[in-house]
Structure formats: structure tokens, C-alpha cells
């Protein structure tokens, strides 16, 4: 019934508009005669009456063909007005044709109008019919504006737009279409001097981005929306950092790719801490990932990074994917996400099992015979591994050893592991075990020419399980305080998609035994990160949300490194100038085998000593507290 009522309402509105056009078209003809032939109305009015029906019908048909009765006129804009003008011109030309045909066949016995009549009447029709539509739109605008005034504009969010371009236009139009329920744009800033001091859809453009704090205060802005998707990521970050000084809620528009359907206002997102990284996100070469197409890809450990590796792999149409994890919930959730997106484009299999169980690994590898393996399964939490060092050895070292050994047995073509900057001059058990995994990869690469092994080393991953971002956000939700270990502690950061793409691209670039390292720019102070997250949450650091320093945790360093000193001499850029490769380091295979044999029987009281024998540069941080 609702659908029938809506259709009847639409037909009624179209009928009213057609009736209005009929009246306005004939009024245009009459006014043209009145203005041009006011002294001879008695002769021309009968001529007009004789042509009224065919010419009016002709105009209505042309208006229908141009879609003037299918437009939503409360959103009418320049395109609709241009269509109205074009329809009027075509109608005028055809009106002349009707007159000439009538003259030729003597249909109109009282004479004919000359071409000037139709030129003047066409202009009059365009003015009246187009003006009627614009008047309708304007009346609705002022009606809803008056409602907004009655409700009290201060109840609406006052919005500043950054960017008076095409995206800014889209957002202004959609905010208006939503009757400003999501907020009202009150001022725009733009770095183009030609736009400053002018009005953009009636909204003042008051200066450049360097004046955002001053302008936001003057116009009592509550929210800032960045409408600059074409500006470089680095420049966007600079502008966002300026806007952070205002204390306003910061939001960003969707990219052009994300604007493919639906309301763009609904796709406006909060600015995240990843948008404030002090370097542009690395643009990795998608072409070099085509080696995944048509291959069986197996991923161990589908946590935050492992899951993103699976998502990235899925984009390149593998033959099938195998997800291996000892925690079923992660695998189950990811399986249904991928099935929803890719449906039956390729099979996706889940196998539950631990990398510590070599028998279970053999069952899985013999079932699927993978071509490519991404080994992401590991214990990564530094303080927890300080308290359970033997578990770090079992899972990180021997889980990697088992997976690599089974991969060699099944003639896997490529095997890539995830490492960490904490493996460089490690100060904790987790970092030391990850350095051993790099050595295991290089060991197997020397002894198995059929499989190409590689490791990928990167810093902290923003938003991953156990990272500081979710911890800070949870602390802010609880009203604080936000805890930072030391005011001078720094870390390298990257996003989860960057980490996953780097791992995938390493598989393409690998020739065997390398450690790939991302150029991660300058390290970030954790204190700056905490302050920015508090600001992005709409609070003032130290005023609304306090920051407390708790001291370094067990195994924690003030700063991390990406490359060993002995690796620097052979470090080279790859085909992607943001990714470096370090060649395999020389070490004794026999000593590694002996060390691994000893580590299999490690106890909590000697595990660190055994790790130091295989990783001589492993030294516990003297500034960090001891393990309880």
C-alpha cells in the first residue's frame, strides 16, 4: 500500500507540474504578444488561440523527453536548469516548424507568426518555466532554513570545510539535502588565494589552512571536515596537525574510489591516528603480487596481520587459500568475511592446528600441497613473553622450524615469515626468538634450493592485536588516565595493510635468504601518539584526560632499530625504493643446529643464557625492571 501511495503521489506531483507548464507556456505567448503587439491585440490573439493546443502539446512532449518531469526539483541545480533551457530552445525551433508547416498547408487561416515571435516567446518560456522550478527549490530551502532557525541553530553542529573544490561542493549539497541534521557548514578554508574572500554556495571562504585555528575560533566551529582527497597524504597530514590545535572533531571525506554509491555524507569518517603518521603510506607495487594468481596459498596465524595478508592475497585470485590457526574464532570470522566478498571465486579452507605440532602440519601440507606459505603465527607480546620465555621459544623458534621443515618436505616454492625490529640487537626474549627465526629461514634457504625463503622485518603495526592504539582508546573510553611507559620512548609505526602488502611483495622480490626492511621514516614518540589520540577523541590532554608515566616494562627499550650494523654494508634498495633488502649473514650451520638442540630442553632458569649463545647481541635492557 505504501508503494501504491508513493506512486500516486508522484503521478499527482507530475500532473501539477505539467498543468503549471501548460499555463506558463501560454502565458509566455500572451505576454510576448502583449509586449510586442499591444496596439494590435485583436489581430494576434485569435492567431495565438489557433496554435495554442498543438504548440503547447509539442512543448510538453519535449519537456518529457528531456526528463523535466522525472527530476527531483527540491534538489534542482545547474544541470536541471540547462536541460530546461535546452528543452525551451528545441521547443521554439519546432514551434517555428509547426507554423511553417501550417502556412504551407493553409492550416492556420488567420495568418502566421514570424520567427522573431518564437525567439521572444522561447526566452519567455525559459524564464517562466525555469524560474518556477528554481522558485520551488528556493522556497523549500528557505522553509527548511526557517525551521532550522526556529529549532535553534546552536543545536546544530557548526562545520568548517577544508577545501572549496568538487568534494566540498558534494558535501555542501548533501548536508543541505539532509536538511542540516548532520550539521551546518558555516565557513570554508582553502589555500587557493583566488577563492579566499569569496562565497562558495553561499558559505564564506575566509583564508588558508594555516589560519584554521583562528577561523575555527571566530566562527565557533564544532567539527572540521577535510574535503581534499586529491592532496598528497603528506600535505593532508600537515593540515590535520594544524587542525588538531582547535580541539574540534576532525573528519575526512571518502576517497574517489569510495564514492561509487550511496550517500557520501554517510561515508565521512573520523580522522584516525593512522592519518597522522609522519610519512606518507608506502605505495607498494601491485604488479609484483601477480605471482599469487592461480596458486595455493597457506597462511599460518590469522590474527590482525595474518588476516590482512589473507585479504590482500584474495585480491589476486589464488587457486585456493588455506587458513591455519590454533584459535578457531579468528579463522571462522575471517572465513565468512572472505566468502561474503569473493563468494565462490576460489575455495577457502580452515584447518585448526598449532605450528608446534609437526604431525598436524604434515597432515595439512599433504592435504593441500601449498605453493606459497606466509608464516605469521607467533607470540608477539613482549612483557608476556618475558614471563613465559620457554613458550616463546616453543612457538616462535620451533613453530617456525617445524613449518619450514614441512614446507621443504612438500616442495613449497616460496616461504615468507614475519619478523620485527625487536629482532635487531634484542633486549627481550620475544625479539631474541624472532632473530633466531630469521636465522632459521636463512639456514633452510641454504639447504633447500627448491624453496625460496625470506623474512620481512617491520616496526609496530598500528591497530594490531596488542598494539598501543587499542589500549589507549580503551583507557580514554574509561575516562583515563592514558599510560605511557616513558616520555622519551619512540617506535617505528606502519599500518596493517602496509605490513601485509610488504610481506606479500617480499615473496615476489625474494631470491632466497633475504631479510626485507621497510623504510619507515622517522620514529614516533609514544607520548605524541597518546596526545594525538586524546585530541582526536575530542578531549584535551592533561586537562580532560591525564597521561601517566609508568616506567619501562620488562624487556622494553627506549628505541628500536631496523638493521643490524653488520647488515648495513650489504643493504640495498629493491625495485620498490621504499623497501630495502639485507643479504644473508654468515653464521655456522653446525652451531645453529647445536643451539636449537639445546633450546629444545630449555628451562626458565637457563633459556635466556641459551638464547644469548645463538644471538650474541641479545642483552636485557638494564633500564627495564626485572621479571617478577
Q: Where are the beta strands (DSSP E) in 127-283?
A: 158-162, 184-189, 199-200, 203-204, 223-226, 249-252, 269-270
Contacts of 579 (CB under 8 A, 6+ apart): 282, 284, 502, 505, 506, 509, 516, 517, 518, 519, 573
- Closest of 324, 302, 364 to residue 500, by C-alpha: 302
* Distance, CA of 25 to CA of 88 (rounded, Å): 10
Find cell 498543438 and name the residue. 54
Return the DSSP state at 205. B
The radius of gyration of the chain's CA atoms, rounded to the nearest angstrom, is 35
Rounded to whole angstroms, what are the CA distances from 569 to 357, 566, 618?
38, 7, 21
Phi and psi of 249, rounded to 5°?
Answer: -70, 130
Alpha-carbon distance of 148 to 151, in angstroms, equals 5
Nearest to 67 by CA among 14, 28, 24: 14
Give the active site residue among 195, 422, 557, 578: 422
Backbone dihedral angles phi then psi of residue 250, each to the nearest 5 degrees: -105, 130
Is the bond preceding 240 in cis, omega lying within 30 degrees of 0?
A: no
Query: How many other CB atoms are found less than 10 A from the CB of residue 621?
Result: 16
3-state secondary structure of 491: strand
Site of grid cell 515571435: 117
Taking the mean position of all CA atoms in its chain, how far away is CA 510?
A: 29
Cα 66 to Cα 80: distance, rounded to the nearest angstrom = 10
What's CA 594's distance to the chain center, in Å?
A: 49
Dihedral of CA 169/170/171/174: which sign? Answer: positive
Residue 557 annotated in active site? no
As a whole number of angstroms, the distance between CA 402 and CA 326 comes to 15
What is the DSSP track for 521-573? Answer: -S-EEHHHHHHHHHHHTT--BTTTB-EEE--PPTT--SS--SS-HHHHTT-EE
- Strands 203-204, 199-200: parallel, antiparallel or unpaired by DSSP? antiparallel
Residue keyed to cell 624487556: 555
CB 248 within 8 A of CB 494: no
Residues 153, 508: Cα–Cα separation, whole Å: 57
Handedness of CA 189, 195, 196, 198 (dihedral sign): negative
CB of 67 within 8 A of CB of 83? yes
Buried b or exposed e, range 378-403, using 16+ CB within 10 angstroms: bbbebbbbbebbeebbbbbbbbbbbb
494 burial via Cβ count (<10 Å: 0-12, 13-18, 19+): buried
Q: Mind telling me the catalytic residues?
A: 422
Amino acid at each position: 500500500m505504501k508503494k501504491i501511495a508513493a506512486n500516486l503521489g508522484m503521478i499527482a506531483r507530475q500532473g501539477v507540474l505539467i498543468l503549471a507548464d501548460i499555463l506558463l507556456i501560454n502565458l509566455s505567448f500572451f505576454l510576448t504578444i502583449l509586449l510586442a503587439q499591444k496596439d494590435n491585440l485583436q489581430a494576434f490573439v485569435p492567431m495565438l488561440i489557433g496554435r495554442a493546443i498543438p504548440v503547447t502539446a509539442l512543448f510538453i512532449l519535449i519537456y518529457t523527453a528531456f526528463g523535466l518531469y522525472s527530476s527531483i526539483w527540491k534538489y534542482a541545480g545547474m544541470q536541471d536548469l540547462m536541460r530546461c533551457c535546452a528543452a525551451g530552445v528545441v521547443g521554439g525551433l519546432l514551434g517555428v516548424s509547426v507554423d511553417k508547416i501550417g502556412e504551407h498547408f493553409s492550416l492556420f487561416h488567420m495568418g502566421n507568426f514570424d520567427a522573431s515571435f518564437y525567439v521572444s516567446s522561447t526566452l519567455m518560456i525559459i524564464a517562466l518555466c525555469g524560474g518556477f522550478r528554481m522558485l520551488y527549490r528556493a522556497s523549500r530551502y528557505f522553509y527548511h532554513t526557517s525551521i532550522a532557525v526556529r529549532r535553534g541553530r546552536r543545536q546544530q553542529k557548526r562545520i568548517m570545510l577544508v577545501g572549496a573544490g568538487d568534494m566540498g561542493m558534494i558535501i555542501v549539497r548533501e548536508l543541505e539535502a539532509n536538511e542540516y541534521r548532520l550539521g551546518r557548514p558555516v565557513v570554508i578554508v582553502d589555500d587557493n588565494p583566488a577563492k579566499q574572500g569569496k562565497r562558495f554556495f553561499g558559505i564564506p571562504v575566509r583564508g588558508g589552512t594555516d589560519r584554521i585555528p583562528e577561523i575555527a575560533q571566530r566562527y565557533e566551529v564544532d567539527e572540521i571536515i577535510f574535503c581534499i582527497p586529491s592532496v598528497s597524504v603528506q600535505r593532508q597530514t600537515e593540515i590535520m596537525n594544524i587542525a588538531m590545535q582547535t580541539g574540534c572533531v576532525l573528519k575526512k571525506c571518502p576517497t574517489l574510489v569510495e564514492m561509487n554509491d550511496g550517500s557520501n555524507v554517510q561515508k565521512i569518517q573520523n580522522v584516525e591516528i593512522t592519518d597522522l603518521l609522519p610519512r606518507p603510506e608506502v605505495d607498494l607495487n601491485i604488479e609484483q603480487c601477480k605471482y599469487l594468481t592461480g596458486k595455493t596459498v597457506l597462511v599460518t596465524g590469522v590474527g590482525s596481520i595474518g588476516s590482512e595478508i589473507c585479504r590482500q592475497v584474495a585480491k589476486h585470485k589464488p587457486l585456493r587459500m588455506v587458513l591455519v590457526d590454533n584459535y578457531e574464532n579468528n579463522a571462522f570470522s575471517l572465513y565468512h568475511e572472505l566468502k561474503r566478498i569473493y563468494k565462490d571465486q576460489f575455495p577457502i579452507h580452515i584447518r585448526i592446528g598449532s605450528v608446534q605440532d609437526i604431525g598436524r602440519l604434515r597432515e595439512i601440507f599433504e592435504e593441500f600441497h601449498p605453493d606459497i606459505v606466509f608464516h605469521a603465527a607467533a607470540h608477539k607480546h613482549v612483557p608476556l613473553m618475558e614471563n613465559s620465555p620457554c613458550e616463546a621459544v616453543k612457538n616462535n623458534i620451533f613453530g617456525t622450524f617445524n613449518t619450514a621443515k614441512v614446507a621443504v618436505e612438500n616442495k613449497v616454492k616460496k616461504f615468507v615469515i614475519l619478523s620485527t625490529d625487536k629482532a635487531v640487537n634484542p633486549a627481550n626474549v620475544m625479539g631474541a626468538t624472532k632473530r633466531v627465526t630469521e636465522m632459521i629461514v636463512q639456514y633452510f634457504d641454504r639447504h633447500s634450493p627448491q624453496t625460496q625463503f625470506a623474512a620481512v622485518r617491520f616496526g609496530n603495526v598500528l591497530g594490531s592485536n596488542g598494539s598501543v592504539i587499542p589500549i589507549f582508546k580503551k583507557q580514554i573510553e574509561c575516562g583515563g588516565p592514558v599510560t605511557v611507559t616513558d616520555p622519551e620512548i619512540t617506535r617505528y609505526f606502519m599500518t596493517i595493510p602496509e605490513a601485509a602488502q610488504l610481506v606479500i611483495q617480499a615473496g615476489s622480490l625474494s631470491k632466497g635468504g633475504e631479510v626485507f626492511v621497510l623504510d619507515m621514516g622517522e620514529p614516533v614518540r609514544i607520548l605524541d601518539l597518546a596526545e594525538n589520540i586524546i585530541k582526536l577523541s575530542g578531549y584535551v590532554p592533561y586537562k580532560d584526560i591525564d597521561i601517566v608515566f609508568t616506567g619501562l616494562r620488562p624487556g622494553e627499550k627506549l628505541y628500536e632499530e631496523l638493521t643490524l650494523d653488520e647488515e648495513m654494508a650489504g643493504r640495498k634498495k629493491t625495485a620498490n625504493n621504499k623497501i630495502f633488502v639485507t643479504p644473508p649473514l654468515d653464521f655456522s650451520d653446525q652451531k645453529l643446529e647445536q643451539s636449537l638442540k639445546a633450546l629444545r630442553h630449555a628451562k626458565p632458569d637457563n633459556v635466556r643464557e641459551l638464547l644469548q649463545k645463538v644471538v650474541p647481541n641479545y642483552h636485557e635492557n638494564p633500564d627495564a625492571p626485572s621479571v617478577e
